[in-house]
Each structure stands twice: as C-alpha cells, then as structure tokens.
Chain A
C-alpha cells in the first residue's frame, strides 16, 4: 500500500449529536483527519443498508455512522436500528469481497468534540491499514455518489438547526459546517 494513500471516508452523522460534536471539535480547534466527508441525517435511524452499500459501491474507502449515545437517541431507538443495519452490512461485505471493517457504528454526544476527533482519527488509521477500496473507480467521487445515494434521508448542510422554529442556542451550530466537516 502506498504511504500517501488518503482514504475517502463517508460519515453519516446524526444532526443531534455527531454533527454538533464535529462543530464543537472545530470550535475547540481539535485536529482530525481531512479524510472524512459528512452527510447529516435527522437521526441515524434513517440510515438504511442500501445507503452504506451505495457509498462503498461508489468507491468510498470506509463508511461509518455516528449517532447519539445509546439510550440518548432523540428518537429513542434510531441509533440502535442504525447499529443493527451496520452489523448487517458487515455480514454482507465479505461475500462481495470487501472487509467488514470498512463499515462501523460509533456513538457520541453533542458535547463530545474530542471523541468526534478521536473516532475520525481511529477510523482513518483503520482504513489506511486496510488500503484503498478495491472497487474504487477513477472519475467517480465517492462523496458525491454517497450524497446522491442519501438524498432521500440527508438534511442539507446549510439548513440551520431548527430553521422553522427558534431552537435553543446550544442546539444550533454557530456556523454551518462545510462538506469537509467544520474543522477542515
């Protein structure tokens, strides 16, 4: 594997926790790899098996979902559903010739900026060790493909939290994160 391999990693991040944690990590000036591309979901419970597969089929080197701490899901059990789906995909991947470690489920709260950075770093290291996704095709952006794949579930990045109704200040990210994540 080439040392200069920069993985492309798709993160399906829950609006209520991981996405806010990413924002916090940015405000805290924490360093985390620029390998991750975030797609904001209203809840990881919206994530389906096919969204993970589409991201990998499009050539993403790794994909993970980041939802609220277990027991803390805004919609009660969305993060538990997401974990089951991620585990199901882990079972499917070896059959098609991919390593199950290319998908993962993480949990964190919106207050855990450092945990967000740690997870991003840990997963990036894992994928670097695995090497590029063998399905990667030239000229296809895994991130663009994954965004397209998740269009039915993803929230637009630019939407301020609680745009329709005034949201508590703590829930509204001070600045809308960019596609590369707030700190990139």
Chain B
C-alpha cells in the first residue's frame, strides 16, 4: 500500500494561509489504512484548523469530507459539491490522489496535507516498512523475494557491501537504527531455498530508465480499453 505522514501543522497553516473556506479532503483507501488521511484524520485536522483560527481571532470555515478513493475520477464526483464551495482543498490523500483532485477540479487550489513517503507494508499495527520502489523491472525473483532496490540502503544489485555487520547495515541515522542488511537477508533466504548460486551471479547495472529516471511512466492495456 501507499503510505503517507501528515505534514507539520505549521506547514499546513502556511499552505492555506489567506483562505477562508477550507475543505479537508480525506481518502478512505491507503492513507486511511495507514492512519494518516482517512475521514477520521480529516475530521481531526479540520477541528484543529477551526480551533487555531478561533484562537487567532480569524473567521474561517473548515469542513471535512472523504472520497472512497481520491485517485479515481468516478469517486471524485461524489465530493464535487463540497469542493465547489471551498476556496482551497487540503487533500490528505497520497500524491496521486492530490493530483487527481487538482486536475479534476482545476483551477481550484488543491494543496497537500501529507507527505507521501513509501510503498510499504504494515509489519505490525501502526508500523510500516518500505518494500518496493516501483522500479519498473522487478528483480526479486533472483533475490529471494527481498527487494534490493529499497531494502539495501545503497540499492546495490550485487551485495553485500563491506558495511554489512552481523546482519545489520552500516547505514545508521537517528531515525533509522538497526536496519537489517538486505543482502544478508537475501543470502540467508537463498541458503534456506538451496539457491546459493544466485548470490554469485553478477548482475549488470540496473536500467533505471524503466524507473522514474526515464521520465513519467505510462501504462496502457490495449486489450482492456473500451471499444
């Protein structure tokens, strides 16, 4: 799933500064499941914005709503009436949802209330881990189902590097302690699978043009296009 984190409140205030009718628009799919931007969180942010405006003595109307999915046109029709009434829409969806709103309702001002951060999985309740970077050419068939692109700090295709110690990566920051070395995990699982020889295979440099380095990507399924 796509995960996101709410932006700092001060930054949100700056984004809506000068507007008197604000719509906080949640999305009830990925960002709701990661407890950041669903209807519940939209209502909380709307309440905070109203309280802040009142504390500052400003007259501001703040409403909230949520689309089932902000990233699909059909669902945006359902919140169009509320969007119409607002001066600015503070979207709590992922970057895709926010852009769908900005495009559908252009030139309405649509601004982000969250930072979209990863394609992650919930490891346990309220903890998400990055699992995929949408590189466009998946290699995990050879790496024991472990993604070297996002789980190796250096995105090495031929790991591990010399910084792998006791199963841990040498990269450590205050926020990221104790990162498992992806290539250590790959080695352990390849051994368990009896496929150690894959560790010795030399992989050529990855073709990043299939990733975001190749410009905006587009996917078309001719067989499924409406006739």
Binding site for B on A (CB under 8 A): 48-50, 53-54, 56-57, 92, 95-98, 134-135
Contacts and interface: CB of A to CB of B under 8 A. Distances in A.
Contacts of B48: 53, 92, 95-96
Nearest to A92: B48
A49 B42 CA distance: 12
B12 to A, nearest CB: 10
Interface stretch (B49-57, B86-94, B129-137): B49-57
A101 B40 CA distance: 24
B179 to A, nearest CB: 27
Interface string B100-123: 000000000000000000000000
A49 B44 contact: yes
Interface of B: 9-10, 40, 43-44, 47-48, 50-52, 54-56
A134 B48 CA distance: 14
A50 B44 contact: yes
Contact of A50 (B10, B43, B50, B51): B43
A48 B51 contact: no
A174 B71 CA distance: 55
Contacts of B43: 50
B52 A134 contact: no
Contacts of B51: 53, 56-57, 96-98, 135
Nearest to A88: B44
15 contacts: A49-B44, A50-B40, A50-B44, A53-B44, A53-B48, A54-B47, A57-B47, A57-B51, A95-B9, A96-B9, A97-B55, A98-B55, A134-B55, A135-B51, A135-B55
Nearest to B49: A96
Nearest to A59: B54
Contacts of A57: 47, 50-51
Given A50-B47, A95-B9, 16 more contacts: A50-B43, A53-B48, A56-B51, A57-B47, A57-B50, A92-B9, A95-B10, A96-B51, A96-B52, A97-B51, A97-B52, A97-B56, A98-B55, A134-B55, A135-B51, A135-B55
A50 B40 CA distance: 8
Contact of B54 (A48, A49, A135): A135
Nearest to B48: A96
B55 A53 contact: no
Contacts of A97: 51-52, 55-56
A154 B40 CA distance: 18
Contacts of A96: 9, 48, 51-52, 55
Contacts of A56: 51
Contacts of A49: 44
B84 to A, nearest CB: 25
Nearest to B54: A135
A98 to B, nearest CB: 7
A169 B55 CA distance: 48
A98 B50 CA distance: 12
Nearest to A137: B54
Which of B44, B51, B52, B55: most chain A CB closer than 10 A?
B51
A92 B51 CA distance: 11
A98 B9 CA distance: 14
Contacts of B55: 96-98, 134-135
B39 to A, nearest CB: 10
Contacts of B47: 50, 53-54, 57
A54 B51 CA distance: 10
A50 B52 CA distance: 15
A24 to B, nearest CB: 34
A21 to B, nearest CB: 30
